[in-house]
Amino acid sequence: MAILKKIPRTDMDYVRIFAEKLKNNNTLFLQHKKLIDSQIKASRQLISNSFGKGIKFKKKARKYLKQRGY
């Protein structure tokens, strides 16, 4: 692992470092993609379990949002 030339100070510095690491090592991209895909799948399951599917989903979601004041 290379020593950083400059200490990251902002969020953008960390983004640049991560982008450079992705450019040099594609396996990081694949790991990140798997993580994001699993989070999307879990979110879909949570929403589906909470509100159902199809017309049920619309009715339950609207009721939930009205209760929350949206």
Q: What is d(CA 70, CA 35) in angstroms, rounded to the nearest whole number?
A: 31
CB half-sphere exposure, 24, CA atoms < 13 A:
8
Q: Number of helices and strands (H, E) in the chain?
A: 3, 0
26: amino acid identity, one letter: N
Distances (CA, A) of 54 to 20, 21, 35, 64: 43, 42, 27, 16
Q: What is the pLDDT of residues 12-63, one digit of tens each?
A: 999 998 888 888 888 888 888 999 999 999 999 999 999 998 889 999 999 9
pTM over 0.85: no
